[in-house]
Amino acid sequence: MTEKELRRYSRVVVDGVEQAPSRAMLRAVGFTEKDFSKPQIGIASTWSMVTPCNMHIDQLARQAAAGADAAGGKGVIFNTITVSDGISMGTPGMRYSLVSREIIADSIEAVVAAQGFDGLVTIGGCDKNMPGCVMAMARLNRPSVFVYGGTIKPGAKRRDIISVFEAVGALSSGAIDEATLLEVEQTAIPGPGACGGMYTANTMASAIEALGLSLANSSAQEAVSQNKIDDCQRAGEAIMNLLEKDIKPRDILTREAFENAITVVIALGGSTNAVLHLLAIAKEADIDLTLDDFGHIGATVPVLADVKPSGRYLMSELIDIGGIQPLMKRLLDRGLLHGGCMTVTGRTVAENLADVADYPDGQDIVRGFDNPIKAESHLVIMYGDLAPDGAVAKITGKEGMRFEGRARVFHSEELALQAILNDEIKAGDVIVIRYEGPKGGPGMREMLSPTSAIMGKGLGADVALMTDGRFSGGSHGFVVGHVSPEAAVGGPIALIEDGDVITIDAEECRIDISVDDEELARRRANWVRPRSGVTTGALAKYRAEVSSASQGAVTAAPPWDE
């Protein structure tokens, strides 16, 4: 490609006499005369000291910029926000978590489009900034690479953040004392990096690599490691290759690429949030992806990785045996991946995996197809009386495949958590947490505190939980989320009363209530939506624009009538 073609966007900003003011300002931030003739590569950093997931990303951004510079471009670092799920969990602040995904995508779009960057490297390290980065990449459709900030090292005694949440429940049940809780709290998080199991961050990093938007093993590197530094350097260099070949995100984000991502998420036993985020990314890429696609693919893909939260191993231990590349090679050889999909290397999935070695003999983290954790997906898409538009359950099989019990209804996460900690929840109960959906929250909070308290109380096999909110990747047990339509728009979940018999059937993929239509009609006639108290600001804007969880909980401006 010619120099002008490589600088498709930046030359509008810096070329010509009339752009002298632009060049003058850029000289002040370090541009030299030669830099004006180079492709400009935006480096979107999600660095902040808000959370350990992102506290090191400023260093990684500098490495990516150096890689772009070394390959003949001009790297320009800019920041966007992040909020911490783990810190805000169980508080009103958690309502901003999913909202931040949209803010991040919008802010990256705004900077890249305004500044005229020709290519883009995004670096994310926590649950919502990662899909937010990729949504912006798909929306802008300029040569782009995503870099994962990396997973945290294990804490003492192989602890992680979920160890702390579950210790709270254990303290409440009398299984541990306050001194033990403090010791867990002090040792679980040893430094930088995303939460250490196959929770949402590691799930989404793996999904993004499977989509083809990251370099090999970017998803399987510790945050503090030479491998991660090298990954950032190579990402900066890879952008120049993508510019030369004119390979853009929508060339990579095909229907088949999304099917690859879903397959890898299932094989890893990944987070239910992957459903929400992949639907949102597909929307930005103009790919028709639905809840049912997860169900259809899940019928043929087994869960192979024995990883936390429901399994035994941490991401660092999966990294030690080779990461996800050998797993992808196994899936490809089995005919479960589309090998012809393009990736940010400029090569196809099959070409990237051609020389990947299998896992070492004797490891038991990733099982073979003849001995899976579960023969089909743990992500079960459910419909029924209570979820006409769908719901997402996380059923590994350890919890059983069917649960019938009497409803205990709560209008918020906090009320449910207090009931659990106060021993008000008994074996056979189905905890119903509603008005926590995208509009109801607003913000669709994660129910990690209640699910962790259930596990810490030793009730994981004895109670179920359903919600129009969502779950942390660290949640496990018999849980069903994303129930749609949500309670705030009058979905059937709003009509449940204490004592109603609810049946959750993972084999039939249904969630139903044993109440006749006449009674439900009576309840609907008397239903009044509770007031949320949110009237202004980002949450009010989000509530006004956000779609159903069954559509990815994306925001979109109303159509403009020309």
> Among all residues, which ones are annotated catalytic?
472
Angle value at C-alpha 224, between 221 and 229, nearest 5 degrees: 70
Which of 408, 477, 430, 460 has its CA nearest to residue 173? 460
d(CA 9, CA 112): 10
Longest dimension (CA), the chain: 77
d(CA 414, CA 420): 10
Residue 521: Cβ-neighbour burial (10 angstroms; 0-12, 13-18, 19+): exposed
Question: What is residue 321's DSSP assignment?
Answer: T
Cross-strand bridge partners of residue 75:
41
3-state secondary structure of 151: strand
Q: Which position has the token pair 């579960």?
A: 374
| C-alpha of 189 from chain center | 20
Look up residue 203 and give its two tokens: 């799930």
Q: Which helix (H) or strand (E) holds 484?
A: strand 478-484
Q: Which helix (H) or strand (E) holds 119?
A: strand 119-124
Look up residue 250 and give its two tokens: 């929508």
The 8 Å CB, 24+ separation contacts for 294-299 are: 294/262, 294/377, 294/379, 294/381, 294/392, 295/377, 295/380, 295/381, 295/509, 297/259, 297/262, 297/263, 297/266, 297/377, 298/262, 298/266, 298/376, 298/377, 298/379, 298/380, 298/381, 299/376, 299/377
Rg of the chain (C-alpha set)? 23
Under 8 Å CB-to-CB from 17, ≥6 apart: which residues? Answer: none
